[in-house]
C-alpha cells in the first residue's frame, strides 16, 4: 500500500525552480533514502510533504487522502512526524520535557510519561532525561529530536540529516535504530552519509536541481552513471 505520494509537486522561490514536477511514491513499511547534492531541493521537497512549505503546484497524498492544503499540525495528527535539518529542541527545558511536549500531541495525559520513557530508551538517552536539552552535544540533540518524533507514534517518520554531528559509534547505533523503527513506521531519510543510505535503505530516490533523477535499490543507484556524475563523484 502506498502511504505517501506526490504528483507534479513543484516549488519556485522568486523565479528559482527549487523543486520541479516531482512524482513520488512511498509504500508503507519502507525505508526510503532521499539523496542529492546540496541545493538539489531535498529539504524543500520534504517541507512541502510535511506542510511547512506551500507548493507552487502539484499534490501531496497521505494514505489516499489529498493533504495538499492541510497545515503541518493537522498532518502530525494524521501520523506524520518530521525532524529538522537544524535542531529545534527547547534548550532550556530538560530532555524528558522536550519529549513530553511532542508526546502530548498523540497521547492522553496518563500515557505521556510512558511514551517519553519508551522514546528516550529507543534512542539511548534515558540516562540524560533530567539534563537541560541545551547542554547536550549537537549529536545528542539530533537523537533527542528523533525521540520527539517517536513519541508522536508516527506512521511516517521523516528524518532530515539525522546523523549530522554524530560520532562513528553513534552512527553505527543509528543504523540499528533505523532498522528497528522500520518495524512500526515508514521512514523517509534525507542523508548525506552514503554508508547509512546503502546499509539501511530499501530504495533510494535521487534529486538533482529539483528534478527526480533516479530511483532504485541502493545497489542500482550506486551503479547508475547519471547519479555518479551528479552526486557520487565517480562520473
pLDDT, residue 50, reads 95
* Lowest-confidence region among 11-25, 156-170, 191-205, 220-234: 220-234
Q: Is 21 helix (H, G, I), strand (E, B) or coil?
A: strand
In angstroms, the CA 102 to CA 126 distance is 16
Supply φ then ψ for residue 192, to 5 degrees: -95, -20
Instruction: Please state whether beta strands 203-208 and 31-35 pair in parallel, antiparallel, or not at all (unpaired).
Output: parallel
In angstroms, the CA 134 to CA 216 distance is 39
pLDDT, residue 84, reads 67
Whether 51 and 67 have beta carbons less than 8 Å apart is answered as yes
What does the pLDDT look like over 49-87, one tens digit per residue? Answer: 999 999 999 999 999 999 999 999 999 999 999 986 556
Question: What is the fold, at CATH topology level, of the domain defined by 30-40+71-232?
Answer: Rossmann fold (3.40.50)
pLDDT, residue 232, reads 57
Whether 70 and 51 have beta carbons less than 8 Å apart is answered as yes
Amino acid at each position: 500500500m502506498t502511504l505517501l505520494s506526490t504528483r507534479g509537486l513543484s516549488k519556485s522561490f522568486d523565479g528559482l525552480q527549487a523543486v520541479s514536477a516531482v512524482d513520488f511514491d512511498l509504500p508503507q513499511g519502507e525505508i526510503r533514502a532521499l539523496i542529492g547534492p546540496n541545493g538539489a531541493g531535498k529539504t524543500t521537497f520534504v517541507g512541502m510533504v510535511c506542510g511547512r512549505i506551500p507548493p507552487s503546484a502539484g499534490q501531496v497524498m497521505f494514505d489516499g487522502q489529498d493533504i495538499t492544503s492541510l497545515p503541518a499540525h493537522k498532518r502530525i495528527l494524521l501520523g506524520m512526524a518530521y525532524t529538522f535539518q537544524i535542531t529545534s529542541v527547547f534548550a532550556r527545558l530538560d530532555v524528558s520535557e522536550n519529549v513530553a511536549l511532542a508526546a502530548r500531541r498523540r497521547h492522553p495525559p496518563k500515557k505521556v510519561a510512558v511514551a517519553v520513557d519508551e522514546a528516550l530508551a529507543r534512542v539511548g538517552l534515558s540516562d540524560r532525561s533530567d539534563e537541560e536539552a541545551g547542554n547536550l552535544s549537537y549529536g545528542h540533540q539530533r537523537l533527542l529530536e528523533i525521540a520527539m518524533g517517536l513519541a508522536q507514534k508516527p506512521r511516517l517518520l521523516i528524518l532530515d540529516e539525522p546523523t549530522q554531528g554524530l560520532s562513528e559509534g553513534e552512527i553505527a547505533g543509528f543504523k540499528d535504530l533505523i532498522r528497528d523503527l522500520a518495524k512500526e513506521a515508514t521512514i523517509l531519510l534525507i542523508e548525506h552519509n552514503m554508508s547509512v543510505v546503502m546499509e539501511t535503505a530499501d530504495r533510494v530516490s535521487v534529486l538533482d536541481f529539483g528534478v527526480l533523477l533516479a530511483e532504485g535499490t541502493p545497489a542500482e543507484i550506486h551503479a547508475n552513471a547519471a547519479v555518479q556524475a551528479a552526486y557520487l563523484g565517480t562520473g
